[in-house]
Copies of this chain bind each other. A is one copy, B any other.
């Protein structure tokens, strides 16, 4: 015997969230129903608005509901001649938390992975090349993850940068190999920025 249809549906749909299994979904549904219906309604509205309105920054590809994200739209940073290339928006947040990088970003939203059908098009490399060809980029810092795919992606992008005579570097492997960039502490991240090597 299950719950009523609406309660069942709420539990089922909560399971679409990463890391949420049947037991957690049930606990979440009951907590919202019992104690926090207002929070549940706020979440519903935030989800609906974000799912329908959030697109990608036309300059760096991170998530935003505007044409340009706050960083690209800022006077200080939007025209910076240094671009840091990362795999995900969470990586941007990790680097921003360190506070030592003042350039702009380019977010690949993934890494080269031919077996999964992720090639240069999926990573927006044509847009990145436009930036490189514009003459407005002095240095490209590659901060993809230190994994096989992240390294391959970095080398692929390095070749494009070199063909446009743009200095290209890769953040130093102070980031533990096999680890994920967004979980690294800000000091290690700072070291890895300082220790970047030409490619």
A195 proximal to B (CB < 8 A): no
Binary per-residue interface labels of chain A (57-80) against chain B in the complex, 1 for a CB within 8 Å, 0 otherwise: 000001111100111000000000
Using an 8 Å CB-CB cutoff, how does the interface string of A26-67 with B read, 1 for contact, 0 for none? Answer: 111111111011011111111111111110000000111110
Q: Which chain B residues lie closer than 8 Å to A18 at the CB level?
A: 24, 27-28, 31
Residues in B with CB closer than 8 Å to A63 are 3-4, 7, 30, 33
Q: How far is the CB of A130 from chain B (nearest CB, A)?
A: 22
Q: Is A10 an interface residue (CB 8 A)?
A: yes
Q: A115: CB under 8 A from chain B?
A: no
Q: How far is the CA of A12 from the CA of B40 in the complex (A)?
A: 12
Contact of A30 among B4, B28, B39, B89 (CB under 8 A): B89
Residue count of chain A within 8 Å CB distance of chain B: 58
Judge whether A198 is part of the interface by a CB distance below 8 angstroms: no
A33–B9 alpha-carbon span in the complex (Å)? 21
As for how many copies of this chain the complex holds, the number is 2
Q: Are B46 and A6 in contact (CB under 8 A)?
A: yes
> Which of A14, A48, A54 gathers the greatest number of chain B CB atoms within 10 Å?
A54
**Are B13 and A43 within 8 A (Cβ)?**
yes
Q: Please, how many angstroms separate the alpha-carbon atoms of A1 and B69 in the complex?
A: 11
Q: Which B residues lie within 8 Å of A43 (CB)?
A: 13-14, 16-17, 44, 47
B10 touches A50 (CB 8 A): yes
Identify the A interface with B (CB < 8 A): 1-7, 9-10, 12-14, 16-19, 24, 26-34, 36-37, 39-54, 62-66, 69-71, 88-90, 93, 96, 109
